[in-house]
Chain A
Amino acid sequence: MLRAELARGDTAAETVLPILRHLVSADHTPLFGDEILARIRGMLEHLASQLLDALAAAQGSRERRPREPEAVRTLARALLDDAALLTHLHALSLEWQLAERLEARLSLDPVVPPLLQALVASPEPETQSLAMRLLGAQARWRQGQRRMQCGLLELPAEQLHAALLTLRSLAVGGIAGFGPEDEQAARAEAALRRAYDESASRIGLAARLVMGLGGAAVTALSLEHGGVALFLTALALGSGQPREAAALCTHETQSARLALSLRVAGLSPTAVQEQLVQLHRDVVLPVGLDRLDANGAASILAGGRYGRA
């Protein structure tokens, strides 16, 4: 018992220094800077309070009683254990930071980039309506990110499912303010599952729009034309990686992954360089990219450890 405890302590102690070193030394856009951490915490707590609201609604109580901060914290901590959810929230934070940075630097509209403007004006009613709905979702998302919030029904299906399971297991044990009646949790869960429609979520709409572009999806692979949201979606679809991995590879420590992914998604070596320079002004371009065809890039990318679906 004591020995195991000591071993756990050792592991924790050993990881202190590298993490500390990373946190202290990271200057401009760290992968987990203070802002990212705050953002993830904020989103977790927002998700937790939405789950508790659903629970309260299922109880049928008309009057909105104040949420108990203790219950929100407990649930948020439990949600933190889900690696996929954490990855997703981290990716959202990176996406938001990138959108803000490009807005400042290139005055790129985070809600309506040029490509979306063009799609909104499309003569095809279906494309046009999709584009309008994405625009609305983008605006809601921006508002949410400013408040460090994340809509529960905006999560991908897997993550929402995991969050609902977490709620279920906690509700059975009884969370502060709610008894251990699992029927109530089951009702709340069923209501949320019914309300969910992935095709109406921001990420779902973006994916459908990019798919609808067909061969022209490459046009979304330009940050200043497509905007961050469509860029990440097109990059993920084009390179066969999860969108979270696509978001991570916009970070400056990941320029090799980004270069490879863009190449796999169909950009020419010159266009890849343009995107890299646009993203990180003083980037050192990976050597040998121009000699690599899309298949070669795909095979190197598949050899990487991170982000395999």
Chain B
Amino acid sequence: MNGGGTILARAASDADDRLLSADEPLAGLHRRCGGELPGTIAVPELLDLVRKARLYRLRIARSIFAQDAAEAITAWVEIEPTEEGDGCAIFLRSWHAAPLPPEDTREAFDRRNRVDRLVAELSAQLDGRQRVLAVTSESRELRRLAAAMEAGIGRPFTDFLAAEGRGHSEPLHWRLLDGSHVSVEGSPRDWRIVLIPHGRAGREPSGFELLLVSDEPPPLPAPPPPAKGEGASPQGLVGQDLAPVLRQPIARIVANAETIRSRLAGPLPDAYADYAGEIANAGRLLLGLLEDLSDLEVVEADGFSTAPDRIDLAEVARQAAGILGVRARAKRITILAPDTGESLDAVAEFRRVLQVLINLLGNAIRYAPEDSQIWIGLQRAGDRARVTVTDQGPGLSADEIAVVFDKFERLGRSGDGGSGLGLYISRRLALAMGGDLRVESVKGQGARFVLEVPAPETDGTAG
């Protein structure tokens, strides 16, 4: 592209607009939007642009807007179709993330109900004592259930739908039934009960709307043949087998715990809401751990290598500081990144260095006190280029320094969202690039992490 300027991340797509490879932060956004790698581009506006560029065979440059659970993201992307027209190269040039304003709980509740009503495959009207008054369903899988309910109008709906692990002798309180999972005879899918009460808030409901929703799509009439070739990725047990299976149920635990915490399902004593908050946090920790474990497998795999390039460490540092700026500001921490005039050449892979710096900065933000400062320094030392991240946190003792880069080392901390893998992975990455990562610290005096990567041979040669 003759656009010039820094490229934050690159990605490539194929003739079916599937993302084949992507650097962070694009890859992360793609995954959080529900995408797989390789898999169809999941960021809606990006997909639209890539499709246009490929079909029109025109180079397109636009801003895209996307949001995940926590942040609203605006980014500038440039898309270049390949000569053969069988895909596109995607260049990410700017990236702004802003935290989303907290959603009004009432609104979130209403929206959830609207979505459930739209995707429900069976809906029924119940009276105040949960007895079926009417039922409709267009699903083939649920036809028998609907017919049985139709025949049994006037009976409690739990006669027809037995929530997992519960008998159906007495009607339970509706809040206990709402959201519970049931299996339906004749359907291989897992179903969720949604009960929407009618009547005035705060009183016993005068009736309910019962929806049966499945989070799995209905089976396709003719399943497509399995994708060829793509399956043979060098990922291991976690990345390939476990992570995709675990991600969804854990995400569901987090979402349900959040629902309880925000009292969407009704009033609740504070202590219980707090428990739910802890469940949600624990779930998030598990999700983070899962990502880390997938990364771990990649860096520990035989033949893992990086793609070194001539990069500007100052630029990487500024990018990292920009990406974590919001989180730092939330704790009123100032990140002092290199000025725009500064630069320090190095031979390393841009996105790997960015990954390491984001990890180091993330740790610094997590453990440093509020209103403190974090410095990012640059240094050339012989044939090495150095980035240092210095914080005003509690620091590390000599014993702790000895083990801080070990796998699963938590230094006695727990419950703060760390997995004990970040520094281990970062160090492996630094070593793979022909560099190193170490720490200098005195207990109580902050910590200084030093990332070293090779510098270009002589400064005089034109890069």
Contact = CB atoms under 8 A, between A and B. Distances in A.
Interface of A: 123-124, 126, 129-130, 157-158, 160-161, 190, 193, 196-200, 204, 207-208, 211-212, 214-215, 237, 240
B4 A129 contact: yes
A111 to B, nearest CB: 21
Contacts of B53: 157
B3 A196 contact: no
A197 B5 contact: no
B5 A129 contact: yes
Contact of B58 (A198, A208, A215, A240): A198
Given A123-B341, A199-B78, A214-B96, A161 B56 contact: yes
B58 A199 contact: no
Contact of B59 (A196, A211, A214, A215): A196
A279 to B, nearest CB: 25
A169 to B, nearest CB: 16
A107 B455 CA distance: 52
A121 B96 CA distance: 23
Contacts of B52: 157-158, 161
Nearest to A153: B58
B93 interface: yes
A198 B63 CA distance: 12
A208 B340 contact: no
B139 interface: no
B59 A208 contact: no
B340 A123 contact: yes
Given A193-B56, A212-B94, A126 B6 contact: yes
Q: Is the interface of A mostly helix, strand, loop or mixed?
A: helix
Given A157-B56, A161-B56, A208 B76 contact: yes
- Chain B interface extent, by class: 20 to 34
A161 B58 contact: yes
A124 B322 CA distance: 15
Nearest to A214: B96
Given A198-B60, A211-B63, A126 B5 contact: yes
Which 3 pairs of residues, A with B, have the shortest CB-CB distance?
Answer: A199-B61, A161-B56, A199-B3
Interface in B298-342: 340-341
A190 B4 CA distance: 24
A161 B61 CA distance: 15
Given A196-B58, A198-B58, A211 B74 contact: yes
B143 interface: no
A202 B11 CA distance: 25
B60 to A, nearest CB: 5
Given A126-B5, A130-B5, A193 B57 contact: yes
B4 A157 contact: no
Nearest to B315: A126
B61 A237 contact: no
B2 interface: yes
B56 A197 contact: no
B329 to A, nearest CB: 12
Contacts of A197: 1-3, 59, 61
Given A196-B59, A211-B76, 10 more contacts: A126-B6, A129-B4, A130-B5, A157-B56, A158-B52, A160-B56, A160-B58, A197-B61, A199-B78, A200-B3
